[in-house]
Structure formats: C-alpha cells, structure tokens
A and B are shown apart, each in its own frame.
Chain A
Amino acid sequence: MYALRRVLAIIPVIVVVALVVFSLLYFSPGDPALVLAGESATPAEIERIRGALGLDRPYLVRLTEWSFGVLKGDFGQSMFFGRSVAELMLQRAMPTLWLSLLAMVFALALALPLGIIAAWQAGRAPDRVAMGFAVLGYSMPVFVLGYLLIFCFSVWLGWLPVQGYKPPSDGLWPFLSHLILPALTLGVVYAALIARITRSAMLEVLQQDYMRTARAKGLGLWSMLLGHALKNAAIPIMTIVGIGFGSVISGVVVTETVFNIPGIGRLTVDAILRRDYPVIQGVVLVLSGVYVLINLLVDLSYGLFDPRVKY
C-alpha cells in the first residue's frame, strides 16, 4: 500500500513541474514563427506559419497537445539546431550519465568513510578534521574547484588532460582520464552533504542500547561500525543521496561548462545563450523527472535496508 501511495504521490508533483515548464515556453518572448519565417517574411506569411504551427490557439489547447506530445516523447523542435529536442537530448545523454555516475561513486567512496570515522571519533580531532572538510566542500563553488583541479593536475603536473570528453569506445584510459577531474569536482559537493548526514545518522545509532550490548558481547570494532551501525543508519543516508542528487544535476550544468563536456548540461548552457526555449524546456522537464524518479526509487528502497518498513 505504501508503495502504491508513494507512486501516486508523484503525479501532482509531475503535473506542477509540467505546468511550470510549459508556461515557460508559452510566455517566452521569442516567437518561433518569426525565427522560422526568416527576416524578410511579410506579416501575412508569419501569420500563416503561426497558424500552421498552432501558435495562435489558446493556452489550454496547447497545454493539452503539448502534454500528449511529451508522453509520446515529443518535446518539440529546437529553434536553433534544426532537430527535435528529444534527439538532441538523447545524443548528449551518455557523457552526462557517465559523469554523474562516476561522481556518485567518488562521493560515496569519500563520504561514507569520512562520516563513519567522524561519528566514531565524535568530538575528537578526526571528527573536526572530517567535518571541516565537509563544510569546505559544501562551500566550494563547483566551478572554482574545477579550475583549481585543472590547474593542479593538468596544467602544473600534466597528469590529466585539461578539458574535453572521450567516449568509452576510444579506450578505457582516454575515457577515464578525461572524466576523473570533472567527476571529482562534481562529487566533492555531494560527498560533503552525504558525509554530514552519515555522521549524524551514525551518531544516533551508536547511542542506542543495542550498540552498547554489541560492544559488551565483544563484537569487533569494524563489524560493529559497518555491520550494525551503518546498516541502521542507511535510511537517512539513502534519503540524502536522493535529495542531494538535485545538487548533482545543478552541478552537471556548471561542470560540463568548465570541462567542456558535450553533455546535457552543456546543451542547457548553449540553449540559454541562444534563447532556444524548446530545448531549455525539454531539459528542465527531463532532468526534473529524473530527480523525482530517483527520489521515488530511494523511498521504495527503504525496505531493503530495514525490514521493519512495511509497504
């Protein structure tokens, strides 16, 4: 029942998102008919194109048509690239997918140990150092960190390429070497967020009576921290992984600009600079949809970590 309710609960969210996104295009100042008709078009020609595109019809009619189109995967035509928005997004999806995946791996690999050590050593030096790093990572603008890393590892040390993207088909090292710095950049902010929650969730669990019992019966430190405490702290951690993914999506837009990666984020920035409203609309809609979906999956996964959660 819980699962069904949770799935149904995303419907109003999606409706609101779609309304906001559609209104964006509807009220946008650029007139697609004007762009298509070219500069030498007469007012009559423009009017004819407006009619052909259906731009002269009322808000609700266009909203309904647009919604059905989106459900079929039709996000309209880009005003600049001369292609469908769906095609553009598909073409740019892979770099973004790899980037966010690797960023998430880095973030978890960094955040979980930091958070666990901080909770275990609460109030002592390791805790302060770990949480100091977390605040620093949390406050670091993504693009500033990106340029710092490029400067250190690419310009100075020359270990990694400065910018660009290579698909996995070009070989593993070219692919990874281009992706390490952007993924690290993007992962740090996310890691800071996760580390803080990991610490507070672990602290809460470590104060429980059963943890004292576990220690009293002579359970080893690691199986206590990882087997007992981390498992019980998993739900808040998973939740922040889901919510924090919003910062990854926002970060993708910036990171892809810094590292010149031809992904969805770069597409967004190109679309902003060219006032390509259908593309902006499609990207905002799809990325928000991904965000909602990820959080739905997170909520549904609670049962995996805690059998007491009943659906």
Chain B
Amino acid sequence: MNATVASTTVASTTGSAPDGLSLRDVLRHPTIMIGGSIMLIMIAAALLAPWLGTVDPQSLSGARRLKPPSTDIWFGGDMVGRDVYSRTIYGARISLMVGLSVAAISITIGLTIGLLAGFVRWVDAIVMRVMDGLMAIPSILLAVALIALTGASVANVILAITLSEVPRVSRLVRSTVLSLKERPFVEAAIVVGTPFPALLWRHILPNTLAPLLVQGSYIFAAAVLTEAALSFIGAGTPPEVPSWGNMISDGRLVFQIAPHLVIFPGVALALTVLAVNMIGDGLRDVLDPNFRAR
C-alpha cells in the first residue's frame, strides 16, 4: 500500500553503519543497556527454568488452588492448583522461542524475496502484488485464519505469524536494494564488472544488515505480542502449554477474585516486549546515520 512510508516508520537506513562504530558504542547506548539487561534476565529464566525453584508447570495441587501470592507460593496458584511462578518462568521459553523463530524465519524468507524483487523485474511485479495482498489482512486475522485451518500448535503459531511478517521484510529489503542500486559505489562496482555474487555479498548485503537488525527486533516484539493475543483468544498454542497468553486466558474468568493470575504473566509479557522494543529503538538510533546526526 504505502511502500515508502511504511519503511520510514522503521528507519529506512540505506547507508552502511557509520564509521568508527564499535560494539562498545552499541552496548553503551542507554536504551539498549536497559532493554538488553531485561532480555538477558528473560533468556536466563527461560534456559535455567528447571533450576529456579520451579515445580512441574503442569502439576496440580489442591492446596495451591486459587491461593494468593505468599512467601510459600511466590506467585500464587491458579484455578486448578498449578503453580503460577513455575508457569510464568516456563512461559518465557514459549514466548522467546516464538519471537526468535518468527524473526529468524521471516528475515531469511523476506531477505530472499526482497533481493529477488529488487533485481528481477518480473518477480517484482508478481511477488510484490501478493505481498501487498497479504499485508492487507490484519496480522491477527491472517494468523487466526491459518490456525483455524491447521490446528493449534506452537509450530503453526510460528508459521502463521511469520506469514504476516514476511511481506514487511521483503518490502524493506526491496526498497533498500532499489535505492542502493542508484548509489555511486554500486554503479561503479557494476561498471568495473564485479560479478553478481560478489556485488551481492560485498556491497548489497552488508548494507541491508542495519535496517534488518532493527526490523528484526521489532518483528521479535510483534511476534511475542501476537502469540500471546492468539493464545488469549483461543487460536494460539494448545491450552495445556504454559504460555503467557494461555495463562491470562485461563485467569480472565476469575480475575476479579484472583488478579494475580493475570498480573504475573501480564507483567512478564509486557516487560519482554518492552525490552525488545527498547533494543530495537536503540539499534535504530545507533545504526541510522540520520538519527545520529540529530
């Protein structure tokens, strides 16, 4: 639809990273530092879940049923007596896995499509129309439609969210390639007869890296949110999976008497998305020369 504007909303960086930019500069950026620290905690929680004082997230105990948070049961118990703390910690695994998988797969596919569209005219004409069509379906609805078709599983959720993100990535890559092709250094490389693979590897790909990194973190955040929303409305991960969306969905019927069932997974979810968005914003500030100039 609005190709040019859509890409400006996510920092349409077309130049390479500014000279003299080191990893240290990136890590010292305040929002990246805060977002990165929260993310590290979440990743640690996901990886070390069994050793963090958790019990089996599926185990039932009548004594825990609807218990408010206390020093014994840190985050309280849910309606069927499962431990909310353990489920929240294990929930990080689902969210991070969905976010990472969606970001990685949609960038790989989107990069391929975007490069093809940027260089091959007929691919551009056909494929980008299909992408326009996919983008016209609001992401949750596209995912809902696919999951209604394929059935609820973590893999299908990842697939469904990826499908709605691929068009955005391909569009970004395509517009980056098109503007790079006009740049003197690329024209010069073509004139001196650089073979195509070398042109791609040395001049085009490195320059798509910065915008893709920024876009990738936004996709990660959007995927975590969409997975939770899908699970919440009953079209996401299977109900027995301890994902934050499922926990909130279970808790919503009793949230007036047991708000902790919604609060703990809700805070974990919001914190994770916030952290990833902060990393994205920070990366955009650091990597986009236009933003650095200000």
Q: Are B9 and A284 in contact (CB under 8 A)?
A: no
Q: How many A-B residue pairs have CB under 8 A?
A: 162
Contacts of A284 in B (CB 8 A): 137, 141-142, 144-145
> In this assembly, does B199 line the interface, its C-beta being within 8 Å of a C-beta of chain A?
no
Contact with B along A244-278 (1 / 0, CB 8 A): 00110110011001100000000011001101010
Q: Give chain B's interface residues, CB within 8 Å of chain A.
A: 1-2, 5-6, 8-9, 129-130, 132-134, 136-142, 144-146, 148-149, 221, 225-226, 228-229, 232-235, 248, 252, 255-256, 259, 262, 266-267, 269-270, 273-274, 277-278, 281, 294
Instruction: Tell whether, in the assembled complex, residue B129 and residue A139 are in contact, meaning their CB atoms are under 8 Å apart.
Output: no
- Nearest residue, chain A, Cβ from B140: A250
Residues of chain B contacted by A36 (CB below 8 angstroms): none
**Residue from the list A155, A269, A281 in contact with B234, Cβ < 8 A:** A269
| Of B129, B137, B278, the contact of A288 (CB 8 Å cutoff) | B137
Of the A-B pairs whose beta carbons lie under 8 Å apart in the complex, a sample of 27, sorted by A's number, is A13-B129, A15-B133, A16-B132, A24-B148, A135-B274, A136-B274, A139-B270, A140-B273, A141-B273, A143-B228, A143-B232, A144-B269, A147-B248, A147-B252, A239-B5, A240-B5, A242-B2, A243-B6, A250-B226, A253-B144, A269-B234, A272-B144, A284-B137, A291-B138, A292-B1, A295-B1, A299-B1
Give A222-253 as 1s and 0s: 1 = Cβ < 8 Å from B's Cβ atoms.
00000000000000100110110011011001
In the complex, which residue of chain A has the Cβ closest to the Cβ of B137? A288
A250 touches B133 (CB 8 A): no
B267: A residues at CB distance < 8 A = 144
A28 B149 Cβ-Cβ under 8 A: yes
B134 touches A16 (CB 8 A): yes
Given A27-B149, A280-B144, A246 and B277 contact (CB-CB distance below 8 Å): no
Which residues in A have some Cβ–Cβ distance to B below 8 Å? 12-17, 19-21, 24, 27-29, 122-123, 135-136, 138-144, 147-148, 150-151, 155, 162, 197, 203, 236, 239-240, 242-243, 246-247, 249-250, 253-254, 257-258, 268-269, 272-273, 275, 277, 280-281, 283-284, 287-288, 291-292, 295, 299
Q: How far is the CA of A143 from the CA of B8 in the complex (A)?
A: 28
A246, B138: Cβ atoms closer than 8 Å: yes
Residues of A within 8 A of B6 (CB): 243
Q: Which residues of chain B are within 8 angstroms of A24 by Cβ–Cβ distance?
A: 145-146, 148-149
Q: A14–B235 Cα gap in the complex (Å)?
A: 25
**B133 near A20: Cβ-Cβ < 8 Å:** yes
Residues of chain B with a CB closer than 8 A to A292's CB: 1, 136
List residues of chain B with CB within 8 A of the CB of A247. 138
User: In the complex the two chains form, is A273's CB within 8 Å of B139's CB?
Assistant: no
Closest A residue by C-beta to B130: A16
Find out whether the CB atom of A288 lies under 8 angstroms from the CB atom of B136.
yes
Given known contacts A143-B248, A239-B2, is B269 in contact with A17 (CB within 8 Å)?
no
Q: Please indicate the chain B residues that have their CB under 8 angstroms from the CB of A275 in the complex.
A: 148
Determine how close the nearest CB of chain A comes to the CB of B117; give it in whole angstroms: 15
Does B273 contact A13, Cβ atoms closer than 8 Å?
Answer: no
